[in-house]
């Protein structure tokens, strides 16, 4: 069968890709396992050299890769360039630190020698989404390769061009042939890949429902999985917050990747005393953002990745309005054959509305009123998700205490927007998944933590 890549800015077909047959998939995985048998024995010095080469290629090809993302999933060029830079950064981070992260750890026991060793597992299957088509892959791939693993990628069907380019970059950098491969298959065939006995572990970034299915399948085969799933990040704005800083940070976070980010701010919980002032500042800044052609250098908000995703977002907005929310900006689909959705603000959002209960994966902000700090924290935690959260207050001790102890999320930030950093572990709790990527904890997810004991 064939799968089309469609430009979401104009609905035109970019390219058609022939999918791999089940037999071809099995052959690819067998080849990757064979490459891994040799790769796992390579010294860190070689792995480091090759990963630095990947970073150099990424930076050299930054403009063309940003254009590819703009065409395939609508990312504005400035966002695409930043994404490629971040991919290069994570490659350099693990090239520099992986050997230290994975060195043997001595443990004092009654043995003459005992220690913990970190050994590669084999092939890691990565099931990745379209919203950050390079970054999501490299934040798994850089530590996986440095740990001595191999990888196969099942990318989202609308970004097969990006998937192929990642494979080409790995080959161009000098990594062994077949060590990392892209599988051009629809999502319906993922289970068969997980069932392949040569696949040792699975990492997925995607929706909560997709994560549940992958986790269930992996668990049925006793295979390790890491899930980075949905989020409905709360941002708490207290009465003593710097409102200019808060509004700017909140808008920038809500509109990350045209609103299509798991860690974008989605629920803005504002204490009543400053709600009116914050809301007006927030509305002005949201309204000032330029939506348009992602190939235009001035564009800040591109289209949504697919028309069906845009339409589902609009349904959530309309249902929230029907249940009593007020739309003070946006909320209407522009005419034309495209996937655009404008910056939208809903106020008077209450429990029971989609804007309160569900993840709004697009440029739609939900403003929720809280009487005080305690109610704001209660509302923030009143969600099935737990990926990121932020709090805005001039009292840094207060902010730190709330971030570290009271907000239920995998990452909590004070006076700035939530974002991933190669140096820090990233992941969620509750319905946002389990396991961690990045930092020390990320590279140790897919290794055999092996005890060695010598009498």
Note down pLDDT in tens along the chain; length 455 residues.
899 999 999 999 999 999 999 999 999 999 999 999 999 999 999 999 999 999 999 999 999 999 999 999 999 999 999 999 999 999 999 999 999 999 999 999 999 999 999 999 999 999 999 999 999 999 999 999 999 999 999 999 999 999 999 999 999 999 999 999 999 999 999 999 999 999 999 999 999 999 999 999 999 999 999 999 999 999 999 999 999 999 999 999 999 999 999 999 999 999 999 999 999 999 999 999 999 999 999 999 999 999 999 999 999 999 999 999 999 999 999 999 999 999 999 999 999 999 999 999 999 999 999 999 999 999 999 999 999 999 999 999 999 999 999 999 999 999 999 999 999 999 999 999 999 999 999 999 999 999 999 99
Q: Do you know the residue count of the chain?
A: 455
Number of other CB atoms surrounding residue 3 within 10 Å: 16
Among all chains, which residue has been given the structure tokens 């389990």?
A: 434
Tokens representing 267 are 């629920």
Element (H, E) at 96: helix 77-101
Range list of β-strands (E), 322-414: 326-329, 344-347, 364-370, 388-392, 411-414
How far apart are the C-alpha atoms of 62 and 86, rounded to whole Å? 11
Say which of 165, 228, 408, 437 is annotated catalytic: 228
**Residue 228 appears among annotated catalytic residues:** yes
**Residue 250 appears among annotated catalytic residues:** no
Say which of 262, 275, 300, 359 is annotated catalytic: 262
- Residue 301: burial class (beta carbons within 10 Å; 0-12, 13-18, 19+): buried
How far apart are the C-alpha atoms of 84 and 88, rounded to whole Å? 6
């Amino acid at each position: 069968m064939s799968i089309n890549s469609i430009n979401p800015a104009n609905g035109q077909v970019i390219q058609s890709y022939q999918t791999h047959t089940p037999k071809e998939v099995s052959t690819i995985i067998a080849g990757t396992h064979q490459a891994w048998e040799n790769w796992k024995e390579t010294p860190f010095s070689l792995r480091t050299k090759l990963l630095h080469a990947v970073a150099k290629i990424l930076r050299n090809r930054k403009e063309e890769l940003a254009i590819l993302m703009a065409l395939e999933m609508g990312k504005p060029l400035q966002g695409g360039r930043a994404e490629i830079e971040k991919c290069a950064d994570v490659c350099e981070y693990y090239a520099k630190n992986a050997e230290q992260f994975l060195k043997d750890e001595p443990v004092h026991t009654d043995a003459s020698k005992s220690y913990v060793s970190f050994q590669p597992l084999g092939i890691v299957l990565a099931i990745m989404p379209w919203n950050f088509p390079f970054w999501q892959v490299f934040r798994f791939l850089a530590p996986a390769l440095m740990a001595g693993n191999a990888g196969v990628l099942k990318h989202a069907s609308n970004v097969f061009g990006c998937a192929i380019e990642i494979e080409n970059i790995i080959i161009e950098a000098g990594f062994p042939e077949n060590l990392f491969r892209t599988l051009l298959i629809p999502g319906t065939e993922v289970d068969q890949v997980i069932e392949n006995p040569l696949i040792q572990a699975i990492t997925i970034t995607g929706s909560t429902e997709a994560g549940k299915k992958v986790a269930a399948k992996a668990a049925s085969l006793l295979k390790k999985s890491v899930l980075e799933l949905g989020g409905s990040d709360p941002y708490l704005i207290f009465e003593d917050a710097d409102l200019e800083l808060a509004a700017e940070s909140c808008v920038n976070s809500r509109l990350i990747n045209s609103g299509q980010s798991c860690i974008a701010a989605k629920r803005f919980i504002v204490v009543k005393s400053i709600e009116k002032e914050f809301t007006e500042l927030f509305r002005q800044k949201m309204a000032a953002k330029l939506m348009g052609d992602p190939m235009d250098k001035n564009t800040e908000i591109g289209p949504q990745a697919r028309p069906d995703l845009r339409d589902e977002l609009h349904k959530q907005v309309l249902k929230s309005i029907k249940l009593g929310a007020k739309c003070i900006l946006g909320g209407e689909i522009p005419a034309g054959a495209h996937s655009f959705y404008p910056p939208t603000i809903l106020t008077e959002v209450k429990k029971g509305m989609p804007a309160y209960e569900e993840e709004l994966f697009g440029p739609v902000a939900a403003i929720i009123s809280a009487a005080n700090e305690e109610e704001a924290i209660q509302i923030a935690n009143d969600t099935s998700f737990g990926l990121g959260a932020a709090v805005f207050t001039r009292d840094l001790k207060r902010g730190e205490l709330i971030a570290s102890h009271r907000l239920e999320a995998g990452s909590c930030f004070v006076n700035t927007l939530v974002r991933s950093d190669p140096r820090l572990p990233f992941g969620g709790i509750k319905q946002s998944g389990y396991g961690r990527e990045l930092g020390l904890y990320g590279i140790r997810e897919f290794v055999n933590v092996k005890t060695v004991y010598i009498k």
